Amino acid sequence: MPLSRDQIRQLIGMLGETGARIGLENSFYTAKDLRNIANSMGLNLPAKATKKIIISEIILKVSQRIDKPIEELLRMSSSELLSYFEKVKPKKEELLKILSELDFHPGSEYQKSLYKYAARQISETGMFQRVASSA
């Protein structure tokens, strides 16, 4: 019986991300079972992804705090993004992943104030996309 997203969220809530990861690694779920769970969550993993990688991606997806698609984030102003980030409190890794998808790679200095940096970069990218599409 495959685990649902809510069941994995409960597992993370009880054991933390590390405990949930270890629990899934030592569970009776095979890599194939976990791949099916990952696919049902919309995760597209490489064919040769190991059980450990599949579990990490599932945990990352379930514990994700930013629930808006990048397209919606790009339509937001810098101040709206900053308010949103302060509300949902995303993890550093989650913001870095979004920035990486937009081809931004902040140095260590910018990572100190990551919310502000991410809000500014995402907002400016969205503005440039809107200007380019209207030209």
- The full DSSP string for 64-97 is ----S-HHHHHTS-HHHHHHHHHHH---HHHHHH
42-83 pLDDT, tens digit per residue, is 999 999 999 999 999 999 999 999 989 999 999 999 999 999
Q: What pTM value is reported for the model?
A: 0.69
Which secondary structure element, helix H or strand E, spans residue 135, and what is its range?
A: none
Listed as own residue / partner, the contacts of 85-90 with beta carbons closer than 8 Å and 24 or more positions apart are 85/115, 85/118, 85/119, 86/115, 89/65, 90/64, 90/65, 90/66
Q: What is the pLDDT at residue 76?
A: 96
Q: What is the pLDDT at residue 87?
A: 95
By residue count, the chain amounts to: 135
Average pLDDT over the chain, rounded to whole?
A: 92
10-39 pLDDT, tens digit per residue, is 999 999 999 999 999 999 999 999 999 999
